[in-house]
Amino acid sequence: MQLELSDDIVGIDFGTSTSRLAIMDAEVPTLLETERGQTIPSFVAIDDEKKILVGQVANYHAIGYPADSFFNIKTFVGEEIS
């Protein structure tokens, strides 16, 4: 999914396992869809070339490279990290 910059308002529902994106279009919220559906896995990863991966691609990357992947971040909100 590729988005272009505009004056639209973007809303993000960042869930523990999946997230949803929406934009305000003519004062009506419109859910953005991916090729596989409306929800996006809440995964972020960094590949060997230091590119940031998001969503399903990052989810697949986490299988082979868990140390380079971030997920379930919301479960740590408010906890002290030593």
pLDDT in tens, 25-71: 777 888 887 777 778 888 889 988 999 888 888 889 999 999 998 88
Q: Is the dihedral of CA 25, 26, 29, 33 positive or negative?
A: negative
pTM confidence score: 0.62
Three-state DSSP state, 49: coil
DSSP E strands in the chain: the ranges are: 10-14, 18-25, 28-31, 40-41, 43-46, 52-54, 69-71
pLDDT score at 2: 54
pLDDT score at 5: 55
Which residue ranges form the domains of the chain, and what is each CATH number? Answer: 10-71 (3.30.420.40)
Beta bridge pairs of residue 25: 28
Phi/psi of residue 67, each to 5°?
Answer: -70, -20
- How many angstroms separate the CA atoms of 63 and 47, rounded? 12
pLDDT score at 37: 75
